[in-house]
Amino acid sequence: MRNVIEVTNISKKYKYGETKPYYTLRESILEFVSNPIKRIRGNSVLRKDEFWALKDVSFKVEEGQVLGVIGANGSGKSTLLKILSRITPPTKGEAKLLGRVASLLEVGTGFNQELTGRENIFLNGAILGMTQKEIKAKFDEIVDFSGVEKFLDTPVKRYSSGMYVRLAFAVAAHLNPEILLVDEVLAVGDNEFQKRSLNRMRQMVGEGRTVVFVSHNLNMVKAICNTGLFLLDGKNAMCGPVDKAISEYSKSNGVLPNFSNLTRVVSNASIDDNFKLINIRVYQGEKTLGPFYSDKSTYISIEFEVRKPIENLRLYIDVLDTAENLIFRSFNDMQSKSPSRYKPGRYLSTVEIFKDTFSPKDYIISVGVGIYNVRSFLRQNVRIPISVLWGGSLNIAYPNDTIRGLLSPNFTWITKDV
Amino acid sequence: MSRAVVIKAKPKWQLVNLRELFSFRELFYVFSWRDLKVRYKQTVLGAIWAILQPLFQTFIFTLFFGKIAMIPSGNLPYSLFVLIGLVFWGFFSNALTQSTNSLIENEGILKKVYFPRLILPLSKVVTTFVDFLISFILLIVVSFYLGYHPNPLVFFIVPIGVIITAVGASGAGLLLSAFNVKYRDVRHVLPFFIQMIIFLTPVIYPTTIMRPSFRSLMALNPMTGIIDATRVVFSGGTNVSWNILGISALSSLVIFFVGLYYFRSTERFFADIA
């Protein structure tokens, strides 16, 4: 396969603290007078109020490949997409794109409140790069997809926000470029519509189109993309198979707290010398701290030291969703496989959360230690955020994680003739 | 594969990429169409405003400058005289104002989609041209109503005048719109600027009341030659001052290329600074 996107040493410099979106004339004159050296210096020199949003990023995308760009906030994902979309020029470097390019950095770009739904389809389509002929040919499909047929001749300012977004996505979903650059624009509308838009997205990807997809949603990236580009502080930290890129990203930061941080939290957690928390590990198989997959068991092991004998010591974990709702709590003495009286010494307590328990979602695991109704041994629970990815084969019936519950247990179903 | 896009830090500069501009012609129409559609949405009178505005202005100017201040108007009645000035002046000032604001008005699009940025200010000139056409019909009606039959030269002078006005307004609009992206001061200054240059343009007075030395200086204002020449042909005459018209044409070309140059050399950074 030949490369249809070739990016070579792309760098982009920005200024810190540009809180105002524009300059006033006075400021520019002042700056010009007070800083003549700036005009002489070259591009690659960084002044102290500047930073590299992207630094020497190179990669290639083959025809038909779907590249997911992942990385923490501020790692340069959006800047990269803006450069490839020719909205902003790079400070250094070069990029080559072969084919008709369409970029989708938001849905509904250029929608005009005063115009009707019908008029906006033509306006938005043209802005996104469709010809009027193409739009006419796909008009019925677009209307159908959006489901706003009855309101086609109503100004969009009278639309509900849901209708507005559906119409906007519908136009975008009927773009037909050879290269598609997409920022996280899919997470729009209600659940039912999200499901449809994700399906549509997968369909567009399936047509052999080359796609660059920027997203925070690792599950979506995993579902759609076959290659991954992991950006770390504006640099290409890894580019390769999507699973590998995701796992590199998960290891590095953002998704999980780094180990040193957790160690510090753990060592400061104990209140007194009677009980000393030593270490907490969250792992699947060999891997410590992720990435975690829903089809593997997750282990949480708590290492601690008891200095004076303690009766009725209890360890527990709370599993919370990101909205802080308790999903379940589990105690270490639930199955009497742990002692109820602890002599001085070191202990390791491990809990297995069975495979097919988690949904592909973010969770917080909160570890607590105490004597029931008497006291806690920790100043506060040790909280570990984890991100679970959809494991196993992709289930086409449930392509979108939003339709799953907080947990996805794999219950047994048997259906028989009776 | 239809085409290759090469993105560089410093691409080969060209004053205008006609081929690319041509390939985006549909977007140009669509922007013009949008502006025309939106302009008179939710108004009762709609496009009639394009007639009422110059009509009211003519009435007020005729009253104050024609009847009270007794400003001479040559061979034409003052009302027709000032209407000719206002029709062209309206075209110029509307085109300038709207193209100047076109980029910041469409900031959202500018930051999300690529297209040749020239399309935005230029499409505004096209939409204001439509208003010009409407008010020009008014001018014809008024002229015939007052019993003035323009010389056939009108078929030459008016199109030339339209081109000079459009080119001059586009040039100034390109310059100011690019400036406006970076310095929002422009938005505040422009109304004063336009009020000021109406007095440097022979809209409400004839150039004949100026000292001859000052007249040639005034010819640098592209509107001078056009308004003068149009008045001559509407009064049935043919003695158009071709020199002044030539200077106007030249000066509008200069303004256009200065504007285009500045616009093209700053447009790449619009999305960063807008």
Spatial distance between the Cα atoms of A3 and A15, rounded to a whole number of angstroms: 33
Please answer whether residues A181 and A81 qualify as being in contact, where contact means their C-beta atoms are separated by less than 8 angstroms: yes
pLDDT in tens, B203-222: 989 888 888 888 778 888 99
Overall average pLDDT of the B150-176 stretch: 95
pLDDT at A191: 65
Task: Compute the C-alpha angle B246/B133/B247, nearest 5°.
Answer: 10
List the structure tokens of A85.
């979309």
Write the CB contacts of A140 (distance below 8 Å, at least 6 apart in sequence): none
Q: Can you give the pTM of this predicted structure?
A: 0.75
A chain contacts of residue B184, beta-carbon cutoff 8 Å: 22, 24
CA of B42 to nearest chain A CA: how many angstroms apart? Answer: 9
Spatial distance between the Cα atoms of B211 and B207, rounded to a whole number of angstroms: 9
pLDDT at B1: 41
pLDDT at B43: 78
List the structure tokens of A153.
């001749």
pLDDT at A254: 40
pLDDT at A258: 46
pLDDT in tens, B146-160: 999 999 999 999 999
pLDDT at A31: 61
List the structure tokens of A11.
């760098």
Q: How confident is the model at residue B161 (pLDDT cuts 50, 70, 90)?
A: very high
B chain contacts of residue A86, beta-carbon cutoff 8 Å: 5, 7, 114
A chain contacts of residue B7, beta-carbon cutoff 8 Å: 83-84, 86, 89-90, 94-97
pLDDT at A19: 41
Write the CB contacts of A194 (distance below 8 Å, at least 6 apart in sequence): A186, A187, A188, A400, A402
| Yes or no, beta carbons of B1 and A4 under 8 Å apart | yes
| Yes or no, beta carbons of B9 and A94 under 8 Å apart | yes
Nearest CB to A127 within list B6, B109, B111: B109
Pairing of strands A326-331, A313-321: antiparallel
A chain contacts of residue B38, beta-carbon cutoff 8 Å: 112, 114-115
Write the CB contacts of B155 (distance below 8 Å, at least 6 apart in sequence): none
B chain contacts of residue A155, beta-carbon cutoff 8 Å: 41
Spatial distance between the Cα atoms of B90 and A16, rounded to a whole number of angstroms: 44
Spatial distance between the Cα atoms of B181 and B80, rounded to a whole number of angstroms: 39
List the structure tokens of A414.
């048997």
pLDDT in tens, B28-48: 999 999 998 888 877 777 778
Nearest CB to B4 within list A97, A109, A110: A97
Please answer whether residues B149 and B236 qualify as being in contact, where contact means their C-beta atoms are separated by less than 8 angstroms: yes
- Residue B185 CB neighbour total at 10 angstroms: 15
pLDDT at B238: 86
Give CA separation, A369 vs A149, A237, A317, A389, in Å.
58, 39, 9, 29
Q: How confident is the model at residue B250 (pLDDT cuts 50, 70, 90)?
A: very high
User: From B267, which residue of chain A is nearest by alpha-carbon distance?
Assistant: A88
Beta strands in A136-269 (DSSP E): 179-182, 210-214, 227-232, 235-241
Please answer whether residues B148 and B236 qualify as being in contact, where contact means their C-beta atoms are separated by less than 8 angstroms: yes
Write the CB contacts of B56 (distance below 8 Å, at least 6 apart in sequence): none
Cα of A181 vs its chain's centroid, Å = 17
| Yes or no, beta carbons of A99 and B1 under 8 Å apart | yes
pLDDT at A115: 93
CA of B163 to nearest chain A CA: how many angstroms apart? Answer: 28
pLDDT at A255: 40
pLDDT at A161: 83
Task: Give me chain B's average pLDDT, please.
Answer: 90
> What does the pLDDT profile of chain A (418 residues) look like in tens digits?
788 999 999 999 887 655 444 555 666 666 656 555 554 445 566 666 778 889 999 999 999 899 999 987 778 898 999 999 999 999 999 999 998 898 888 888 899 999 999 999 999 999 999 999 999 999 999 999 888 999 999 999 999 888 888 899 899 889 888 899 988 766 566 667 777 777 787 787 778 889 999 987 777 788 788 899 999 888 898 899 988 888 787 666 444 444 456 777 787 778 787 888 988 888 887 766 667 888 889 999 999 999 988 888 889 999 988 777 889 999 988 887 777 788 999 999 999 999 888 888 888 888 999 887 778 888 778 888 888 887 765 454 555 545 467 888 888 889 999 8
| Yes or no, beta carbons of A119 and B37 under 8 Å apart | yes
